[in-house]
Amino acid sequence: MKISTVLDHIDSGHLALPEFQRGYVWNREQIRGLFSSLYRRHPVGGLLVWATESKTAVSRGDGQLSAGVVKLLLDGQQRITSLYGVVRGKAPPFFDGDPGVFKNLRFNIESESFEFFQPVKMRDDPHWIDVSVLMREGLDHFIPLLSQEPKFGEYVGRLSKVLGIVDIDLHVEEITGEDKTLDVVVDIFNRVNSGGTKLSKGDLALAKIVVDWPEGRNLMRAKLAEWSEAGFDFTMDWLLRAMNTVLTGRARFVHLHDKSAEEMQDAFRRATRQIDNALNVISGRLGLDHNQVLFGRYAIPVMVHYLDRREAEGAATLGVRERDKLLFWFVQAAMWGRYSGSTESVMDQDLTAINEGGLDRLLETLRLWHGSFRVEPGNFTGWSLGARFYPVLYMLTRMGEARDWGTGLPLKSSLLGKMNRLEVHHVFPKSVLYKAGYRKSEVNALANFCFLTKDTNLQISNRLPEEYFKNVESEHPGALSSQWIPAGPELWSIAHFREFLEARKELLAAELNHRLEELLHGENHWLDVPRSASPVEEVPVHDDQDIADDGFVPLNDWVKAQGIPEGIPDMELSDPDSGEPLALLDLAWPLGLQEELSQPVAVVAHDNSEALVEASKAGYRCFVDVEDFKRYVHLEALGNLVGSGGK
């Protein structure tokens, strides 16, 4: 089938995108590569479509389907969307991204190359032709502009070759038959895309939901966007998980498959209301007020189930004691990585505990799994922004009496607002510590971190504590101790840095235990049980440049600047057949950095060994080192685009 015919079928509603398809993820480099390959008549692969009745088909977007049989695109979405966007000069009806990605593709009639518009390079050079204008207006629009060119004939021939792209035939393979149910088609889709990432069980659950509730996906996306605007980024699977817990009391998506549209709408309303409630208390009471410090996010669907159950029992809002006890459980589950392994199985255990014995049974289940809830100084031995106790340090700053060292003002969440007003500060400056021979894991130890306002951070700069601590204490008495700084001035010198770290870990552990006791309102027996015989194994610290050292948010910003889609934080990796969650990946690109041109990629903190193993088995290219990952992006992911057409 000619490319022009494929595009006409999209316009007429004969070709659309099935609801379960993921969105468009290509960037301009991939679009450029596709047109370069098509211009040179290199093969770019065929299409796979599902022929089905339009009256039962559920497609993406607002486009009207034609009557009778329609074809839903299973393989080739990125290529066809790109072609439509450039040739038509606008996005197709099923597109839900930034239509600007298709604009201003230029063809150089001299070098026969494709590039997107660069003002300095192209503005005054008539050899750069707008491809969308050429496709829309044809040769007649450009012939007068080129008539005085010495190579007029060659240039016209090259433009004709660009126009001829829409006449290229693509092989189209169809899946037909009454036996081709949604489950069967999704299985075929997964087999066809075996080189990439299969649809998750959440994708399949959503595909079935929107058959009877077509507007469901858009409502869920709108709610996810609302949370993102507030500083919290969640995935569709995560939201579905929360809906599942309130509707079925279970974690596995299979329990959603036989639910009606009315039940799903009710689950959406109940789950989103309780998620809002949970985020409000986590942010307001614990101070965890933005995405980078929101650890334990898979504990939130369990909280949602508990809050929904209590509301059904007549408790419109929780009392202070019950609320704080639930938050105590949340903090404990997050600190010890309750959901870092088999998420679904663990979640089902916790949901069962709630249904059988309420909050006390939930706490007892966690204690039997981990042991003592009391924190020890050694728990603050971690380093880097990716350490599990990094959010704990932020939480202590927001919950307690911590004060800024420049203004003396409290840093409580209710008084200061979002994280963008606070910055991580190295108590002992990095540059000085490195010169003194300290290791990366010591320089970036959690006990060397505190949070200050941006202005204060800049004022302190790289001065040593033995210098600026005296000024802080003189101008704002008690501000140092409010941030758990050891009182002995002898520990403020760089020669005693290691002793400073040990002393501050003691203070941090004591403060955290105090705050945990505060959440228990006298029920301190939860903290007094001896540690179990098999404590969680500590992962030894090494000095490789851990990916978490820079934090996942800055890394995502760097990736985006390269023209590559952002990774998914805390992505749940599930078994494609059973749906059983295997691990949480700290930052992942399940479709590859360049969809269909590279394998799935994940970056993982060095202490997340289980995730590394499971991701590797699932075909992910895994990284724990910043520079290794960036080299891969430049040399392989972006480098592969040169001269490739992609899909």
In a domain, 253, yes or no: yes
Total count of domains within the chain: 4
Q: List, as one string, the DSSP characters of 123-155.
A: TT-TTEEEHHHHHHH-GGGTHHHHTT-TTHHHH
Q: What is the SS3 assignment for 529?
A: coil
Contact 633, 559 (CB under 8 A): yes
- The predicted-structure confidence for 366-414, as pLDDT tens digits, reads as follows 999 988 999 999 888 876 665 778 899 999 999 988 999 999 999 875 5
Clarify whether residues 344 and 437 are in a common domain. Answer: no
Any domain includes 182: no
Query: How many C-beta atoms lie closer than 10 Å to residue 513's C-beta?
Result: 16
Three-state DSSP state, 474: helix
- Of 332, 351, 370, the residue that ends a domain is 370
Same-domain pairing of 454 and 343: no
- State the pLDDT at residue 63: 75
User: What local confidence, expressed as pLDDT, does residue 632 receive?
Assistant: 81
- The distance from CA 412 to its chain's CA centroid, rounded to whole angstroms, is 27
Residues 6+ apart with CB under 8 A from 35: 86, 105, 107, 114, 131, 165
State the Cα–Cα distance between residues 446 and 456, nearest whole angstrom: 19
**73 & 169 share domain:** yes
Same domain, 508 and 393: yes
What are the φ/ψ torsions at residue 241 (nearest 5 degrees)?
A: -60, -45
Q: What is the pLDDT of residue 53?
A: 83
Q: What's the mean pLDDT in 501-512?
A: 96
What is the overall mean pLDDT for the chain? 83
Does any domain span residue 197? no
- 3-class secondary structure, 606: coil
For residues 97 and 27, the answer to whether their CB atoms sit within 8 Å is: no
Per-residue confidence (pLDDT) for residue 130, from 0 to 100: 95
Same-domain check for residues 362 and 383: no
What is the model's pLDDT at position 215? 83
Band (pLDDT 50/70/90 cuts) for residue 348 is very high
Pair (521, 581) in one structural domain: no
Is the pLDDT confidence value at 319 over 80? yes
Average pLDDT over residues 278-304: 92
pLDDT at 364: 95
Q: Which residue has better confidence, 147 or 308?
A: 308
How confident is the model at residue 644, as a pLDDT? Answer: 37
Tokens of 374: 């009391």
Least confident of 31-40, 245-254, 307-316, 632-641: 632-641
| Residue among 626, 603, 633 nearest 615 (CA) | 603
Distance (Å, rounded) from C-alpha 462 to C-alpha 310? 51
Residues written for the chain:
647
Question: Do residues 162 and 255 both lie within one domain?
Answer: no
Q: What is the pLDDT of residue 191?
A: 62
Distances (CA, A) of 382 to 402, 434, 625: 21, 18, 17
Residue 280 included in any domain: yes
Q: What is the pLDDT of residue 50?
A: 84
Confidence bin at 529 (pLDDT 50/70/90): low
Q: Does residue 170 lie in a domain region?
A: yes
Give residue 385's pLDDT: 60
pLDDT at 282 over 90: yes
CA atoms within 13 A on the CB side of 151: 9
Cα radius of gyration (the chain):
28
For the residues 599-619, what does the mean pLDDT come to?
73
pLDDT range class, residue 204, cuts 50, 70, 90 = low
Same domain for 22 and 148? yes
Instruction: Select the more confidently predicted residue: 536 or 409.
Output: 409
> So what's the pLDDT on residue 589?
83
* Residue, of 59 and 574, whose pLDDT is higher: 59
Same domain, 339 and 389: no
The pLDDT, as a whole number, for residue 67 is 86
Q: In this predicted structure, what is the pLDDT of residue 544? A: 34
Q: How far apart are CA 463 and CA 485, in angstroms?
A: 16
Is the predicted pLDDT of residue 70 greater than 70, yes or no? yes
**Chain segment 290-299, per-residue pLDDT in tens:** 888 888 899 9
**pLDDT for res 178:** 64
The proportion of the chain whose per-residue pLDDT surpasses 70, expressed as a percent, equals 83
More confident residue, 308 or 174: 308
Residue with token string 């249904």: 355
Distance of alpha carbon 466 from the chain centroid: 41
pLDDT value at 333 more than 70: yes
How many alpha carbons lie under 13 Å from residue 600 in its C-beta half-sphere? Answer: 24
Q: Are residues 243 and 361 in the same domain?
A: yes
Provide the 3-class DSSP secondary structure of residue 115: strand
pLDDT of residue 614: 77
- pLDDT at residue 537 above 60? no
Q: How far apart are CA 58 and CA 41, in angstroms?
A: 34
Residues 6+ apart with CB under 8 A from 621: 598, 599, 600, 601, 602, 632
For 450, phi then psi, to 5°, come to: -150, 175
Q: What residue numbers bound the domain in which 121 lies?
A: 3-175
At residue 533 the predicted structure's pLDDT band, cuts being 50, 70 and 90, is very low
pLDDT of residue 285: 95
Same domain, 520 and 567: no
Looking at residue 419, its pLDDT comes to: 41
Tell me the percentage of the chain whose pLDDT exceeds 90.
47
Q: How many CB atoms lie within 10 A of CB 276?
A: 14
Neighbours of 14 (CB within 10 A): 18
Checking DSSP bridges between strand 172-175 and strand 47-53, what pairing results, if any?
parallel
With tokens 């239509």, the residue in question is 99
pLDDT, one tens digit per residue, over 351-368 is: 999 999 999 999 999 999
Single residue among 335, 350, 370 that ends a domain in this structure: 370
Instruction: Classify residue 542: in a domain, yes or no.
Output: no
Q: Residue 519: pLDDT above 50?
A: yes
Top-confidence residue, 259 or 608: 259
End-to-end CA distance of the chain: 16
Angle between helices 300-312 and 343-370 (to 10 degrees): 90
Residue 562 lies in a domain: yes
646, part of any domain: no
pLDDT band at residue 536 using 50, 70 and 90 as cut-offs: very low
Range with top average pLDDT, 92-96, 371-375, 509-513, 592-596: 509-513
Indicate whether 160 and 247 sit together in one domain: no
List, for residues 213-234, the tens digit of each pLDDT value: 878 888 998 999 999 999 898 8
Which of 370, 390, 416 terminates a domain? The answer is: 370
Position 532 pLDDT exceeds 60: no
CA angle 78, 80, 82 (to 5 degrees): 65
Q: How would DSSP label each residue in 7-35?
A: HHHHHHTSEE-BTTS------HHHHHHHH
Average pLDDT for residues 175-179, to the nearest whole number?
A: 71
| pLDDT for 21 beyond 90 | no
Give the residue from 573, 618, 578 showing the smallest Cα distance to 343. 573
pLDDT band at 542 (very low <50, low <70, confident <90, very high): very low
Which residue, chain included where needed, has tokens 């208390």? 281
